[in-house]
Amino acid sequence: MQKKLIIGNWKMHPRTLGEARKNFLAVKKEAAACKNVDAAIAAPFTYLLELGKISGAALALAAQNVSSEKEGPHTGEISAGMLAATKVKYVIVGHSERRALGETNDFIAQKVRAVLAAHMTPVLCVGEIERDTGMFYLSAVKTQLEECLALIPKNAVVRVVVAYEPVWAISSTPGHRDATPEDALEMRIYIQKVLADMFGHANADKVRVLYGGSVDEKNALGFLIAGRADGLLPGKASLTPKRFAAILKLANNLK
């Protein structure tokens, strides 16, 4: 059985490199005792170079975004190769907050391919905007998976992580409501089915499916056990080392 993967997404926090380094080291100390968990922090671009110097087996480094281009006249963009040089292991692609800015499935597919080419692990975020009663939310996630993974060969999908983040459950979404482990389980099963149809059961079974969407130390266990998540992608809860460490410990103690 694969280890649970817990990736904290700091988003546009903290304010200074000093705070980032302090928090990263605090989490790393706690993570070192969690041998049954793969842990990582997705930090802002400006902190990656310094945090890469103190990342490692106990706490890996992740990036929150990446350019689809290898190099060239792309002002303000960061290539996959540049990220790899800072010891980044995971790269979040297709987050709903990026999709809200106009990123399409086809564009995200190019990013997935770029990350794999640079020998890092893409964390592909998928999730419906609203949980409707007509089952259209399933087809929305299916389309995201099919189009975002369209440019990779079948055997490459085992190097991809999928993170299910229902937009309606994210705390920053106006009028958001809490998702349940049952919601997550339904989508986890469906995601595996779609992946199996695309890449074969043997490959699909090796893809870790995480849950995100206002996950914290209070509901983490429910998503890991009843929701059968292979890991978690907490946002706000990852900004406080003690809270993030609590999530790591919960995952570490699972049998």
Q: Which residues are catalytic?
A: 95, 165
CA 69, 172, 193, 122 dihedral sign is positive
**What is the rounded distance in angstroms from the CA atom of residue 95 to the CA atom of residue 86?**
21
Q: Which residue has the tokens 């994210």?
A: 170
DSSP state letters, 185-215: HHHHHHHHHHHHHHH-HHHHTTSEEEEESS-
Contacts of 101 (CB under 8 A, 6+ apart): none
List 123's β-bridge partners, or say none. 92, 161
Q: Is the peptide bond before 14 cis (omega within 30 degrees of 0)?
A: yes
What residues contact 184, with CB distance under 8 A and at least 6 apart?
Answer: 164, 211, 223, 227, 228, 229
What one-character DSSP code corresponds to residue 95? -
